[in-house]
C-alpha cells in the first residue's frame, strides 16, 4: 500500500464547512502548488514525514470518531491521496476532502464530501481555478469562497450566478480573519439575499490558530 508525506494528524473540532463543531480527525498532507496571499497553513508547504496508508489509518482509528478531514496544503498534489480516501471510506469513515479546486477532482471517489475552495481575486491565485471541476460536485459537496474585500465579494457573487453553483452543491462565504470584517460580510449576504452559508473559522475563535488544537 502507498505512503504519503504528512505534515500532521490531529484531533479537534471541525472549524469550517457544514459539519462545523463536530469532533474530527484531520490528516494534513504536505505540499501545495499554490501560494495564496492569505494562506494560514504555509507550514505545510514543505517537510512532513512519509507515512504508509496503513499507519495513517491505525493512527486515526484511535480517536474513536467517524469524521475524517483530509486537508493540506493541497492534498491532491500527492497522487496517493486518492488511494487514502478510498481506504478511509472502506473503513466506514465519513471522509471530507479540502481542496483548492486547482487540481482535477474527477477521480475522487463519489462517497467523499468535497469542500472546494474557488480562489478569489485577493488570493493572488485566481488563474489557478479549474471551473471544469464544478461538474463533479453534488448535493453533499461544498464550494467555499474566502473573501477579503468588496472585489472578492462581487466576484464571488458573479461566479455563484454564472455557474449556478447552488444547483450543484452548498456554497460557503468565509471572511479572511483579521482582514474582512465578518459582520460586514454577513450584512452583505443578507442585503443581497444570497443563498449561501456564512461561516467563520471556529477554531480561530476558540484557539486563535490554524488547526484548532
Non-local CB neighbours of 71 within 8 Å, separated by 6+ positions: 26, 27, 28, 29, 41, 97, 98
pLDDT band at 208 (very low <50, low <70, confident <90, very high): confident
Q: How many domains does the chain have?
A: 1
User: Residue 13's domain spans which residues?
Assistant: 3-207
Other C-beta atoms lying within 10 Å of the C-beta of residue 9: 16
**What is the average per-residue pLDDT within 126-155?**
97
pLDDT of 213 higher than 80: no
Return the residue matching grid coordinates 481506504.
Answer: 87
Residue 48 lies in a domain: yes
Backbone angles phi, psi at 13, to 5 degrees: -85, 140
Residue 89 lies in a domain: yes
DSSP code of 136? G
**99, 115 Cβ separation under 8 angstroms:** yes
pLDDT one-digit tens code per residue, 8-26: 999 999 988 889 999 999 9
Which has the minimum average pLDDT: 127-131, 153-157, 202-206? 202-206
Residue 212 lies in a domain: no
**Geometric angle at alpha carbon 103, from 52 and 158, rounded to 5°:** 140
Residue 178 lies in a domain: yes
- What distance in Å separates the CA atoms of residue 59 and residue 104, rounded to the nearest whole number? 28
Residue 23 lies in a domain: yes
- What distance in Å separates the CA atoms of residue 130 and residue 119, rounded to the nearest whole number? 10
Strands of the sheet with 197-198, listed across from one edge:
49-52, 3-13, 23-29, 67-71, 94-99, 113-118, 142-147, 170-175, 197-198
H or E stretch including 87? helix 81-90
- What distance in Å separates the CA atoms of residue 28 and residue 98, rounded to the nearest whole number? 10
Residue 213 lies in a domain: no
pLDDT one-digit tens code per residue, 82-123: 999 999 999 999 999 999 999 999 999 999 999 999 999 999
Residue 209: the pLDDT is 67
H or E stretch including 162? helix 150-162
| DSSP assignment of 52-63 | EHHHHHHHHHTT
Helix orientation angle between 53-61 and 81-90, rounded to the nearest 10 degrees: 40
Residue 68: the pLDDT is 98
CATH code, domain carrying 185: 3.20.20.70
pLDDT one-digit tens code per residue, 24-80: 999 999 999 999 999 989 999 999 999 999 999 999 999 999 999 999 999 999 999
- What distance in Å separates the CA atoms of residue 125 and residue 15, rounded to the nearest whole number? 23
pLDDT one-digit tens code per residue, 168-196: 999 999 999 889 999 999 999 999 999 99
Amino acid at each position: 500500500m502507498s505512503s504519503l508525506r504528512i505534515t500532521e494528524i490531529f484531533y479537534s473540532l471541525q472549524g469550517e464547512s457544514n459539519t462545523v463543531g463536530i469532533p474530527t480527525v484531520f490528516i494534513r498532507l504536505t505540499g501545495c502548488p499554490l501560494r495564496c496571499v492569505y494562506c494560514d497553513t504555509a507550514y505545510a508547504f514543505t517537510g512532513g514525514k512519509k507515512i504508509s496508508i496503513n499507519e495513517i489509518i491505525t493512527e486515526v482509528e484511535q480517536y474513536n470518531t467517524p469524521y475524517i478531514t483530509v486537508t493540506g496544503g493541497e492534498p491532491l498534489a500527492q497522487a496517493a491521496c486518492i488511494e487514502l480516501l478510498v481506504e478511509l471510506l472502506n473503513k466506514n469513515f465519513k471522509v471530507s476532502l479540502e481542496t483548492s479546486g486547482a487540481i482535477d477532482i474527477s477521480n475522487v471517489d463519489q462517497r467523499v464530501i468535497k469542500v472546494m475552495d474557488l480562489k478569489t481575486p485577493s488570493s493572488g491565485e485566481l488563474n489557478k481555478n479549474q471551473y471544469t471541476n464544478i461538474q463533479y460536485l453534488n448535493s453533499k459537496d461544498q464550494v467555499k469562497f474566502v473573501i477579503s474585500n468588496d472585489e472578492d465579494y462581487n466576484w464571488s457573487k458573479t461566479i455563484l450566478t454564472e455557474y449556478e453553483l447552488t444547483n450543484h452543491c452548498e456554497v460557503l462565504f468565509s471572511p479572511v480573519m483579521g482582514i474582512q470584517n465578518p459582520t460586514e460580510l454577513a450584512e452583505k449576504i443578507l442585503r443581497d439575499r444570497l443563498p449561501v452559508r456564512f461561516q467563520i473559522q471556529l477554531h480561530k475563535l476558540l484557539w486563535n490558530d490554524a488547526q484548532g488544537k
